[in-house]
Amino acid sequence: MSRVYSARSRAIEPFHVMALLARANELQAAGHDLIHLEIGEPDFSSAAPIIAAGQDALAAGHTRYTAARGLPQLREAIAGFYAERYHHPVDPQRILITPGGSGALLLASSLLVDPGKHWLMADPGYPCNRHFLRLIEASAQLVPVGVAERYQLNPQLINQHWNSNSVGALVASPANPTGTLLSRKELAALSASLKLRGGHLVVDEIYHGLTYGCDAASVLEVDDDAFVLNSFSKYFGMTGWRIGWLVAPPDAVADLEKLAQNLYISAPSVAQYAALACFQPATLAILERRRHEFAQRRDYLLPALRELGFRIAVEPQGAFYLYADISAFGGDAQAFCRHFLETEYVAFTPGLDFGQHRAGQHVRFAYTQNLQRLQQAVERIARGLKSWRPDAL
């Protein structure tokens, strides 16, 4: 029987990298030594204090629903983190605990964007952001950005692309796939530009904490009315726990709580109790050591890829990605990625997963492997470039 499913389900694209990952896993199961640089997940397991806190929560029977906004003590801990790290007070009442950063995005998009309306977003950017908008019958207005813009939106681009269906902008700092940041001054300029139009500013700060040689500014330091998406997945290393948060203006909290009650009831209870351990000094010390290791990886892989001929004109300041232009080698990014997967057993991501703007000329490397594995990957890539034939595939 042939079934017809919803137009929205057909419009939402899959992660193209997942097909590549499936093939990588097949090759690995067949005995090949795969080096995975394709998935944006830290290679470290959750820190020991976080695991212990989760085990304690299970032993204590903390397995029931929490309030839709989340555990009060976790919201207070996050507010304390803002006060300590950003020197900016945030009322815990403005914080909602969500099932991962995705849950925060679902709440914000459901609250702010009506069907037929759109947010402006940078292209390239994280694909799920635009897909969530399609889910609620809205859309993303993708704005092409490149080296000149450091892959970020700015007031000039807002002016150029804003139209009658625009209701706001979603930016990411640090950004996936490029690792670039928005400074405090740039965030303030974006905020002012959007307020002139009555638009909302939503900032993805999911990679905060993972910056190298600088600190990321929170948009809340310059715009207390902005919406902030964050997560325990990246810096805090809790990917599989599915726990994140949303900071919203006070007048939005009641409607967001209502949405949370209906969409997912509450974030995972055990994960919330485990996340309390993230702010302990012992845990933060572990996380800072891991950040230092990520910095070492970036500082090795960035010049190594450039030396091979990859063009990475903007040095990433955060996250754990390098977004590389492969124009010097010719051919299409998807075929390029397949070549290295099948011949050298190194997996990285084609640009098609991140948008449309020059996607066929870009790939993303995730430096979520240790230095030794990165060195092996570079050796294999160097060898694979010698056998790469753009017109052969």
Question: Are 7-45+283-386 and 50-279 in the same CATH fold?
Answer: no
Residue 189 confidence (pLDDT): 98
- Which CATH fold would you assign to the domain 50-279? Aspartate Aminotransferase; domain 2 (3.40.640)
What's the pLDDT tens digit per position in 195-236?
Answer: 999 999 999 999 999 999 999 999 999 999 999 999 999 999
Per-10-residue mean pLDDT of the chain, 393 residues long, equals 85 80 92 94 95 98 97 98 95 98 97 97 94 94 97 98 98 98 98 98 98 96 97 97 98 98 97 98 98 98 98 96 97 95 96 94 97 98 96 62
Q: How far apart are CA 91 and CA 249, in angstroms?
A: 10
Answer CATH for 7-45+283-386 from 3.30.360.10, 3.90.1150.10, 2.60.120.1310, 3.40.50.720: 3.90.1150.10
pTM for this entry = 0.96
Residue 1 confidence (pLDDT): 65
Residue extents of the structural domains in the chain: 7-45+283-386, 50-279
